[in-house]
Amino acid sequence: MSEQQNKKSSANSKEAPTYRLNAQWSGLWKVFAVLAALGLAGAAAGYSSNPTRFAYSWLFGFLVAVTIAIGAMMWVLIQYLTSAGWSVTVRRTAEFFGSGTVVFLALVVPVILTMNTTFAGWLHVGAHHEGGAEAPHAAVIMGESSMLAQVEHTDSAHPAPSQAMPAVADHAAPAPAGHGAVLGHAAHATVREDPEELLEQEIMSRKTWWLNKNFFIARSVFYVLVWFGLGSWLLRRSILQDTSKDVKLTAGTASMAPVATIFLAFTLTGGAFDWIMSLEPSWYSTIFGVNFFASSFVAIHAVLILTLMSMRSSGMLVKEVTVEHFHDLGKMQFGFLVFWAYISFSQFMLIWYAGIPEETTWYHRRWDVGPWAPVGLALVGLHFVVPFFLIISRNFKRKLGWLKLGAGIILTMHVVEIYWFVMPNLPKQDDFAFSWIDAACLLGAVGAYLAVVFRNMASHSLIPVGDPRLSRALKFQNA
């Protein structure tokens, strides 16, 4: 224990608060490391038994960890952007969760290595271009009546945009998905192939400048490098201040925060586009990055609330993080929960109302195919309606049991949401069922991430003792 802390604590209270993890918690990172090892072993077994499943399951587990880390970094940056005083005692916990980004340098590797499976939908479009025209699948699809069959074809290799196919867009544009009109329209058109298939090819040929193998790998590496740099930088600056008490560190971080926020916003949008949207490469949704951010940001509030409450119940930060801080965390969580619902619903409603094929595929796959319709409804009910009423009231936000219940539901549903983002794109949805490979990958990725987070937590002070606004946070009260 450093001298400054002892000095400070003796001034503050009689029993010296240590601001360190207690013995019970300081070994927790080893537990997570063991769980991660078990999960990774399971994931490896999953890879050898079902490599396709592993590819999707790993993406799911990886994204759960990524969203929490992104949310944490954004949370810390917003505290600097707003010069927040109330949150100083909470901020270090968020910084720990942001510092876990270092593991993504390793966790992203399987995502890149399995891209032939997960991102086959666009990966071979460019190659086909070079190899010349191939026989399109259109003839096969024409014979089938269900939309399902057409959509599922996108999972296997995409047909090539044939060079012998001029003016594709003119003929194929306005066909509503799943309607009888599709076939009628096709019959009128002079083109032999299925119009939706042609549309998809046309769309894909326009997207190859972004969706190609080398650029994708470069971007994936770039994202995790940016997040690694940002997460480590935020924690390091804050820890330097623990001993130096230098106000310039706060000012310096605050002055860099706008730039860092822009970088984080662009990289998280890119991550959402590349790792989730490109599972459905012909899909358009300009708001999906915001949706992904909203998800992450709601999740980090749930993570912070649950972590800090657990810490308090084992005797740490009891006086430093009070009901006032939880009240504010609850307010932020509530606000961004509504934001998440607003964004998610806006995306859904516009796509539903317009009903144009290149947009409806996403929801078609998550409503008409496999077991996903109840999952989508569960997201509406349990990711929004139930927690909305649980934490809407000031009294409920200040009754920690209610807030904890709300945060627990939100975090669980966040994991379900990421599952719902990724898994409907797994081929052969008719007999879809939860697999132990999903659980192993989730455990492996999130366990590895948490092991680093709790390792950092064990070796540093739990609150930024050198922060100039610390006293404001300690005295903070909601008016």
| Per-residue buried b or exposed e for 422-442, using 16+ beta carbons within 10 Å of the residue's own CB | bbbbbeebeeeeebebbbbbb
What's the token pair of residue 26? 């300081």
Which of 174/252 has CB closer to other proteins?
174
Give yes or no for residue 381 binding other proteins (CB under 8 A).
no
User: Residues 471, 86: contact at Cβ < 8 Å?
Assistant: no
Give yes or no for residue 393 binding other proteins (CB under 8 A).
yes
Give yes or no for residue 352 binding other proteins (CB under 8 A).
yes
Closest approach of other proteins to the CB of residue 355, in Å: 6
Which of 208/322 has CB closer to other proteins?
322
Which of 244/393 has CB closer to other proteins?
393
**Amino acid at the residue 319:** K
- Nearest Cα residue to 101 out of 68, 136, 138: 68
Tokens 């909203």 identify what position? 294
Closest approach of other proteins to the CB of residue 351, in Å: 10
Where does residue 28 fall: left (phi above 0), alpha (psi -120 to 50 degrees), or beta otherwise? Answer: alpha
Closest approach of other proteins to the CB of residue 227, in Å: 34
> How far is residue 95 from each of residues 149, 233, 391, measured CA to CA in Å?
47, 10, 25
Closest approach of other proteins to the CB of residue 479, in Å: 5
Which of 286/395 has CB closer to other proteins?
395
Closest approach of other proteins to the CB of residue 474, in Å: 13
User: Residues 406, 390: contact at Cβ < 8 Å?
Assistant: yes
Q: Choose, by CB under 8 A, the member of 167, 354, 373, 377 that binds other proteins.
A: 354
- x-or-dash string of contact with other proteins, 231-250, rule CB under 8 A: --------------------
What's the token pair of residue 225? 């490098």
- Nearest Cα residue to 281 out of 375, 382, 214, 213: 213
Distance CA 362, CA 279 (A): 10
Q: Choose, by CB under 8 A, the member of 7, 192, 206, 394 that binds other proteins.
A: 394
Q: Choose, by CB under 8 A, the member of 1, 41, 259, 349 that binds other proteins.
A: 349
Q: To 10 degrees, the CA torsion angle through 210, 213, 218, 220?
A: 90
Which of 176/408 has CB closer to other proteins?
176
Q: Choose, by CB under 8 A, the member of 48, 190, 214, 477 that binds other proteins.
A: 477
Q: Choose, by CB under 8 A, the member of 395, 430, 431, 433 that binds other proteins.
A: 395
Binding interface with other proteins (CB under 8 A): 176, 179, 345, 348-349, 352-355, 392-395, 477, 479
